[in-house]
Structures are given as C-alpha cells and as structure tokens.
Amino acid sequence: MKFYGAAVSGNAYKVGILLELLQVPHETVLIDFSKREHKSPEFLQLNPRGEVPVIEDENVVLWDSGACLAYIARKHGGDKWLPADPAGLAAVMQWLSLAASEIQFGLQYARRGLMQKRWTAGTLEQGHAISRIALDAIDQRLQHNDWLALGRPTIADVACFPYVETAPESGLPLEPFPRIAEWLARCRALPRWPKR
C-alpha cells in the first residue's frame, strides 16, 4: 500500500494511526505543501480535492481520510474497527461524518487560520462556534461511554482524535472538557498508537 501524507496534516495522521494500529505494511510518500505538490496536475488526478491523505493499493485509489480509514479497517481489521451490520456501521459513521464536518470546518479550519493567518471559511469566532458543536457532541457521548461508537475503540475514535487533540492550537483549551482529555489519553494508551 502506498500512503500519500504530510507531517502537518491531521487528516493524514488519522490514516497513519490506523496503519500502525493494524500493522499494515506500507510505503509513505510525503507531499510537500510548500512546493504545492498537492495541487499538481498529477496529484489532482489521484485526488480532485488536492489534499492528503490518498492511498493506493493494488488497483484501488482512494481520497478522503474517512474513506481510507474504512478501506483499511475492513481489509485488515475484519469487523473489529468497522463492523458491517447496519447498526454497528452506522454508529461508527456518525463520528466519521462529525470528523468530516464540524471537526474539519470548525477545529481544523480554526487551527489552520491561527497558524497560517489565513481564513478561508469564516472568522475565528465562527470556527469556534462550529467547533463547540463537535466538542459538545463528543463530551455528551463520553458521559456514559469510554469510546465514541459501540463499546470499544473503532475508527470513530481514530477519525476524531487528531483535531480534537490539537483543539488548544485552534484556540480552544480542553480544560472545560475533562472527559475528552481522558478519552484522548485512553486512545494514546492503545498498543502502537503513534504520536503525531
């Protein structure tokens, strides 16, 4: 498997986490954002969005971190990290969707805005309002559960982890959310969970 990533990207980090957890042999190709490699015609053929991660495996080419996680989980983890029964799959999907929506357009955009002084989807205040929807949803779930979906770690946790972990870099300290801090620690304590 070929894994196109970039050290700065939390979306690529998600895929890197799962590849380590499941010990999937792979070759990493680092995309250099400073050289705009992610917007090159060759790369846009792999991913029309012009983003990492992308994976290539035999004849399969996939963009989008959630889709990459689903593929790796189903191929290398059986039902453990992403079950196929209707209720189990949908329970995980809720959090993949949150990761693609409020986490991406709240936490990720606010962090990038603060780091790069570049605001492409609203102000910091708007980004924080969207982020809080995600943090509140996660916090509410963790009131009575250790993991986001089902009763065990799944790709729901992997997908939400990176940009929740860096919430302070998005301007949102996690002190008001002790349950979320405990969940982050539980994720990090899983065997082979890689640091960013």
Residues in contact with its own copies by the rule CB under 8 A:
48-50, 60, 62-68, 70-72, 74-75, 84-87, 89-91, 93-94, 96-98, 100-102, 104-105, 119-123, 126, 129-130, 133, 136-137, 140-141
The smaller minimum CB distance to its own copies, of residues 31 and 138, is found at: 138
The smaller minimum CB distance to its own copies, of residues 74 and 186, is found at: 74
CB of 130 to its own copies, least distance (A): 6
CB of 188 to its own copies, least distance (A): 24
Q: DSSP for 98-129?
A: HIIIIIIIIIIHHHHHHHHT--SSS-HHHHHH
CA 3 to chain CA mean position, Å: 15
CA distance 87 to 90: 5
CB of 65 to its own copies, least distance (A): 8
Residues 6+ apart with CB under 8 A from 145: 151
The smaller minimum CB distance to its own copies, of residues 29 and 121, is found at: 121
Enter the DSSP assignment of 38. Answer: G
